[in-house]
Homo-oligomer: A and B are copies of this chain.
Amino acid sequence: MPLNTVEELVAQLREGGARVTTARRLVLTVLVEGSQHPTAEELLATVRARAPDVHASTVYRNLEELERLGVVVHTHLGHGPATYHLASEAHGHLVCESCGATLEAPRDLFEDMAQGAKRRLGFVLRPYHFAVLGLCAACAARATTAQP
């Protein structure tokens, strides 16, 4: 059962046979303490605030390895860079095509679709990797009133 303190995550690394380095510990720390949906570049910047010599490729390789170990996951919210968060916080995303607002999808929103896909196609949904696009309430309202 993965939890969310740096020490618990570090323990997960050791169990997976990975070494614990300063860069790696910092990446985890930033993910635990930092903003919700950081990109690799934002992570790098925050890590560098504490350890200026960490290289971009180190962060990319760490994120890759952490993902392989099931500690973090990445999500594509739109056309820009991927965003990263702890695997224990995995959730679906709804992103507004018009204003870019990002909403966390309620846990059960995908439930019916997942059951339908399973029953009809045998397909097991893991709908967290890509956001689902659409129009947020405000933009949807604006779009309909703007129609002649």
Measured CA separation A135–B127 after assembly (Å): 10
> Top 7 nearest A-B pairs by Cβ distance?
A122-B137, A130-B130, A112-B112, A125-B134, A124-B135, A124-B140, A113-B113
Task: Choose from B76, B103, B134 the contact partner of A126 (Cβ within 8 Å).
Answer: B134
A131 touches B130 (CB 8 A): yes
A134 touches B140 (CB 8 A): no
Copies of this chain present in the complex amount to: 2
Residues of A within 8 A of B (CB): 76, 94, 96-97, 103, 105-106, 109-110, 112-113, 116-117, 120-127, 129-137, 140-141
A116 touches B123 (CB 8 A): no
A129: chain B residues within 8 A (beta carbon): 97, 133
Question: What residue of chain B has the Cβ atom nearest to residue A122's Cβ?
Answer: B137
Majority secondary structure of chain A interface residues (helix, strand, loop or mixed): mixed
A113: chain B residues within 8 A (beta carbon): 109-110, 112-113
A127 touches B132 (CB 8 A): yes
Given contacts A109-B117, A116-B112, contact A122 B134 (CB under 8 A): no
A134 touches B127 (CB 8 A): yes
